[in-house]
Structure 1
Amino acid sequence: MNILIINGSPRETGRTTKVTRELHKSYQSSFLDLSELLLPIFTGDNYQYETEAVKMLIEKIDKADAILLATPEYHGAMSGALKNAFDFLNSAYFANKPVALVAVSGGGKGGINALNNLRTVTRALYANVLSKQLVLDPTDVMEQGILRKTAAEGIDELVNELILYTQVSKQILKAKQNV
């Protein structure tokens, strides 16, 4: 099963970047790091789809069986880097694809608005977004992005639910094809 973890932070040293890099190692998943993938600002012009960065984005999304999206919260929403990446995609890449959502907050009440924003956009792309979602506060994240025990347990629960949902979705799609 190919689970793609997407770091939605444009900051190479950001908490979200550190956390997603650790998750990538822990779950031996595919990884797309928007702090490294320099996408052009979406304009809708066809030539943009010929850039290597956009080709890589589309290929990784297309090959994924499921996606775990992680973003910081910027001004009550997901990062602009993640929204820009979504603008290069359409529902063909997300239809029937299970998606889990994680916000890595700066503290206080951060995170929930980013999750709501992510849910709205991924729903518009026809992704099957899990009901369960997770906010990681600064106290949940130790140095180098390693999670404290309760946060790590929360991620495990979310990833296990994503795996289960992906397995069930594949069975349903297979059964539909055989009818």
Structure 2
Amino acid sequence: MLKLVGLSGSLRPGSHSTAALRAGLRIAAESGAATELLDLRELNLPVYLPDLALEDYPAEAQGAISRLVAAFRSADVMLWATPTYHGCMSGALKNAIDYMQLLARDSAPYLQGRAVGLVALATPAPLGNMADCVTELRAWLAPTRVTLTANDFSPEGTLTSESGNRRLTRVVTELLGFHRALR
């Protein structure tokens, strides 16, 4: 079964980035995909250190890093979402992406042969940097990129905007279609 992994770049409780991913994962599940959410707030990853192997990180961090890397490896497609911080993706998201270095020696290194969709909150400013990461990781970039604002969500954090849901559905459909076309 096709698996979509969502990577949330926010550490904020009640994050709109995470809410957008939950909506995207729901859309994917309704289309028959398996889904997994990587909420960086819950994972509480240490800063990536390029000279360390997984077993060199503190014991209390190894479980979260292992879960992250296992999800990266199991993803057929990914959806990344981030708040906009000073015109860029969040540091938490970039840190998580840096852990993909642990996939460098895989038979299909990094995210080779997979597709990634992008969601930014507040402004589209981080989308360019995120797209650069996607291509550096040897993945394909979904053509639709989604920008949402706080106005697209209910006070409870549900994505309620018709246009936001339509664009999110479009990017998820592109991701699922990309994978199915490859297989």
Aligned to 1:48: 57
Q: 1:61 offset after TM fit, Å?
A: 0.8
TM-score, normalised via structure 1 length:
0.85
1:78 aligns with 2:63: no
Counterpart of 2:182 (choices 149, 169, 178) is: 169
Aligned residue type for 2:48 = F
Q: Does the CA contact (< 8 Å) of 1:42 and 1:84 recur in 2?
A: yes
Aligned to 1:151: 164
1:32-47 equivalences under 5 Å are 32-44=38-50, 45-46=52-53, 47=56
Q: Distance in 1 between matches of 2:70 and 2:175?
A: 21
Aligned to 1:125: 137
Aligned to 1:98: 115
Q: Give 4+ residue runs of structure 1 displaced > 4 Å after superposition.
A: none
Aligned residue type for 1:65 = D
Listed as ranges, the gaps of 5+ residues in structure 2 are: 30-34
Number of matched pairs = 165
Q: 1:71 offset after TM fit, Å?
A: 0.7
Aligned to 1:175: none
Q: Does the CA contact (< 8 Å) of 1:101 and 1:118 recur in 2?
A: yes
Q: Distance in 2 between matches of 1:71 and 1:79?
A: 6
Q: 1:87 offset after TM fit, Å?
A: 1.0
Aligned sequence identity (%): 28
Q: Does the CA contact (< 8 Å) of 1:96 and 1:126 recur in 2?
A: yes
Aligned to 1:15: 16
Q: Does the CA contact (< 8 Å) of 2:21 and 2:79 recur in 1?
A: no
Q: Does the CA contact (< 8 Å) of 2:152 and 2:160 recur in 1?
A: yes
Query: What value does the CA root-mean-square deviation take over the aligned residues?
Result: 1.7
Listed as ranges, the gaps of 5+ residues in structure 1 are: 171-179
Aligned to 1:113: 125
CA deviations on 1:119-138 (whole Å, 9 max, x unpaired) are 11121111111122110122
Aligned to 2:70: 59
TM-score, normalised via structure 2 length:
0.83
CA deviations on 1:3-57 (whole Å, 9 max, x unpaired) are 1111111112222123223433453321111111111111222213971111000
CA deviations on 1:81-140 (whole Å, 9 max, x unpaired) are 1100111113513011111111121xxxx2x22111101112111111112211012222
SS in 1 for 2:100: coil
CA deviations on 1:46-75 (whole Å, 9 max, x unpaired) are 213971111000000100100011111111
Q: Distance in 2 between matches of 1:81 and 1:24?
A: 20
